[in-house]
Amino acid sequence: MKTHTLRGHLEGPVGPDPEVYRLVVDDGRLNHGYRIKSFTIWRNNIGSANDVQAILGTTEDCATGLGVTFAMNASDNSQLAWALWDGNTTQAQWGWSLVDPDHIVQQDMFIAITAPTNYLIEMEAVELNEAATVLQLVKSKQR
Residue 93's pLDDT is what? 64
Q: Is the pLDDT of residue 140 over 80?
A: no
- Beta-carbon contacts of residue 68 (< 8 Å; ≥ 6 apart): none
Quote the pLDDT of residue 51: 82
Give residue 101's domain range. Answer: 3-141
Half-sphere exposure (CA, 13 Å, Cβ side) for 76? 21
Whether the Cβ atoms of residue 108 and residue 73 lie closer than 8 Å to each other: no
How many structural domains does the chain have?
Answer: 1
Structure confidence by residue, pLDDT tens digits, 58-99: 888 877 765 566 778 888 888 999 999 887 655 656 788 999
Q: Any idea what the CATH number is for the domain that residue 53 is in?
A: 2.60.120
Instruction: Between 31 and 80, name the one with better pLDDT.
Output: 80
Determine the Cα–Cα distance for residues 132 and 115; give it in Å rounded to an integer: 36
Distance of CA 27 to the CA centre of its chain: 18
